[in-house]
A and B are shown apart, each in its own frame.
Chain A
Amino acid sequence: MAGYNQFMFELLNPQSALHTQAPQAAFFHLDGDELLNVSLDDGTIKWEKGMVNDFLTQVALYARSTPATTIILSGIVLSPFTILTHLNHNSGISVPRIQETVNRKIEKTAREHANIHYFDFPAIVTHYGLESLVDDKFWYLGRIKYTNTAYVQLARHLKSLVDAIHGKTRKVLVLDLDNTLWGGVIGEDDLQGIQLSEEGIGKVYRDFQQHIKDLKSIGVLLAICSKNNEADAMEVIEKHPMMVLHDSDFVAKTINWNNKADNIRRISKELELGLDSFVFIDDNPVERELVRQNLPDVMVPEFPKEIEKLNKWFISDVVYPFFPKVILTNEDNVKTDQYKRNIQRKAFEITLDLNEYIRSLNIKLNISLNDKSQIARISQLTQKTNQFNLTTRRYTEGEIGQFMDDSSKRVYAVDYSDKFGKEGIIAVVIIDILSKDAIHIDTFLMSCRVIGRNVELSILESIIGSLSKETPLKTIQADYIITAKNSLAKDFYTKCGFEASGSRVLAKETLLSNLSTLQHG
């Protein structure tokens, strides 16, 4: 709501709230018509190009001075209908192109700074239309730019973006089958009777499956939870020619007559993922309620009453709120494979004794130091790892980048592979150098995908070992900060020979000799 001079003043004045309060997040939403002041002068179009450049320069400077602040820049929208009528696009004049140019500049600024993000306001306008978002009456009477509808949508989309930036996104989509992935009930209708096709209602379900498949390709895990005879359901999945989703797309399947809360709990155990990573979709309100009551951590959205709304509902009420993403990592594309290999490894596990098993995995660890190409994945791991995480400190990409430039900090990323394949970066360690012979372990975390293979011991040993080569260490400080989820990591430091002192554990010279006797993979 601030005018041009006010937001520039906020950015330029070192005494302003923006500079003195170090906010967690700053959202810049600029009114395109007011900012750019597009006008026609002697047959040529004029607009305030300089203001856009000044604004973006100042935002970039601000972003660099406050790497811990998340900055969100809204794309601008210009009123599409003006006195220029069909001159737009048909002559050298094009107001829409000005909007494009400005938004490309904003996007570029966002891409060049880890802590700046682009907010797609033009997409909201395309979907809802300026007519329903802006009411001139309230603009002229009281400078209220938008309608209530507009503020609700701005708030929803902004929350989704902020959640994506902070890695607050769920990991598993659990799906019912009958009347959810296809129309009809396979136990009652036969294979030809269910609705799944290129026409009519059948096409609604086929499109739905395609959206789900796309979601899987960007790192969401899929599971089935259906009350059915397994053979009936598998017949559709394997034999129906219009199925988009196939057996191999799902990391877990519970097709039986048990209650769905128990089945979802079982999937959670199998994948070693907490129930607060789960979203459950079912057309049956009784099943939804049962899961809501028994597993309050699982998100269970309502299901649309009119089936033609299924696909729009899925994008706006499931994907945006629960699976938002602002960056793709290499790990995201292959996530389903990784979890499946893990299940294979587990099956393999039963037949061997543990040490034998770990040795037979041929684990290879590759530890990199301050590798900037890994900032996105490192930040993602600090945001998402809950179980084997000693301090659960969450860091944005901006903060990780800042640590890598700080000579008193070290950021290690650990790449894992074994005979089943590559897992990618699975562990992060952040060290504070306190003095020439003392360090503090700020962060030690490892993805639960590789838990139970003594990998954590090898990682700590290698990092302490390499730091000791630089300078002999006398003191290593480390914390274990208890949370609702990290009891798995509780004994890690004592197991490594650290001594407890209050909440902090201290290690002396004995650590290194202790470590070298520990077995590692």
Chain B
Amino acid sequence: MADIEIIEKIQEIASYIFEVAPETIQLTSKQEDIPEWDSLGHLRLIMSLEEIFLVKFPMDIIPTYKSVEALVTEIKKQIN
């Protein structure tokens, strides 16, 4: 899967969960820039990403993914 497809899917899912406009979510977006990306939202996002991309994020690492880029990197690592 190309990077752009992964980013677009994350954009779609994250904007739905955080209830923000899709363009708010970019590759460069960080958790601290998006107030709606709180700790519960973060878990819901991770849960949905696991279902959509058929990947598993390790429990101890989950709190450390603080940007879209970190998520993309981990997803790419697992699916390619």
Which A residues form the contact surface with B (CB < 8 A)? 135, 137-138, 140-142, 144, 147-149
Q: How far is the CB of B56 from chain A (nearest CB, A)?
A: 8
- Chain A minimum-CB-distance residue to B51: A148
B:6-28 near A, CB below 8 Å: none
- On whether the beta carbons of A142 and B51 are closer than 8 Å, the reply is no
Give me 8 other A-B pairs in contact (C-beta within 8 A), A141-B63, A147-B47, A148-B51 excluded. Answer: A135-B47, A137-B62, A140-B59, A141-B62, A144-B43, A144-B44, A148-B47, A149-B51
B:26-50 near A, CB below 8 Å: 39-40, 43-44, 46-48
CA distance A147 to B63 in the complex (A): 18
List the A side residues contacting B39 at CB < 8 Å.
142
- On whether the beta carbons of A142 and B43 are closer than 8 Å, the reply is yes
- Chain A minimum-CB-distance residue to B39: A142
Produce 1/0 per residue, B56-80, CB < 8 A to A. Answer: 0001001100000000000000000
Number of interface residues of B (CB under 8 A): 11
From A141, A144, A148, A149, give the contact of B59 (CB < 8 A). A141
**Complex A-B: 24 CB contacts under 8 Å:** A135-B47, A137-B59, A137-B62, A138-B43, A138-B46, A138-B47, A140-B59, A141-B43, A141-B59, A141-B62, A141-B63, A142-B39, A142-B40, A142-B43, A144-B40, A144-B43, A144-B44, A144-B47, A147-B47, A147-B51, A148-B47, A148-B48, A148-B51, A149-B51
List the B side residues contacting A140 at CB < 8 Å.
59
CA distance A137 to B43 in the complex (A): 10
Q: How far is the CB of B20 from chain A (nearest CB, A)?
A: 19
List the A side residues contacting B44 at CB < 8 Å.
144
CA distance A142 to B39 in the complex (A): 8
- Chain A minimum-CB-distance residue to B48: A148
- Chain A minimum-CB-distance residue to B42: A142
- Chain A minimum-CB-distance residue to B59: A137
- Chain B minimum-CB-distance residue to A142: B43
CA distance A140 to B63 in the complex (A): 13
Q: Kindly list the 6 A-B residue pairs having the minimum CB-CB distance in the complex, ordered from nearest.
A: A142-B43, A137-B59, A138-B43, A138-B47, A144-B43, A141-B43
CA distance A137 to B44 in the complex (A): 12
CA distance A147 to B62 in the complex (A): 16
Q: How far is the CB of B52 from chain A (nearest CB, A)?
A: 10
CA distance A149 to B39 in the complex (A): 21
CA distance A138 to B51 in the complex (A): 13
Q: How far is the CB of B40 from chain A (nearest CB, A)?
A: 6
Most chain A CB neighbours (cut-off 10 Å) among B39, B47, B51, B63: B47
List the A side residues contacting B40 at CB < 8 Å.
142, 144
CA distance A238 to B2 in the complex (A): 59
CA distance A141 to B40 in the complex (A): 9
Most chain B CB neighbours (cut-off 10 Å) among A138, A147, A149: A138
- Chain B minimum-CB-distance residue to A136: B59
Q: How far is the CB of B17 from chain A (nearest CB, A)?
A: 11
Q: How far is the CB of B62 from chain A (nearest CB, A)?
A: 6
- Chain B minimum-CB-distance residue to A135: B47
CA distance A495 to B63 in the complex (A): 73
- Chain B minimum-CB-distance residue to A137: B59
Q: How far is the CB of A288 from chain B (nearest CB, A)?
A: 29
- Chain B minimum-CB-distance residue to A149: B51
CA distance A274 to B43 in the complex (A): 46
List the B side residues contacting A142 at CB < 8 Å.
39-40, 43
CA distance A135 to B47 in the complex (A): 9
List the A side residues contacting B59 at CB < 8 Å.
137, 140-141
CA distance A426 to B51 in the complex (A): 51
Q: How far is the CB of B61 from chain A (nearest CB, A)?
A: 11
Q: How far is the CB of A472 from chain B (nearest CB, A)?
A: 63
List the B side residues contacting A135 at CB < 8 Å.
47
CA distance A140 to B60 in the complex (A): 11
CA distance A138 to B39 in the complex (A): 12
List the A side residues contacting B43 at CB < 8 Å.
138, 141-142, 144
List the A side residues contacting B62 at CB < 8 Å.
137, 141
List the A side residues contacting B63 at CB < 8 Å.
141
CA distance A142 to B44 in the complex (A): 10
List the B side residues contacting A149 at CB < 8 Å.
51
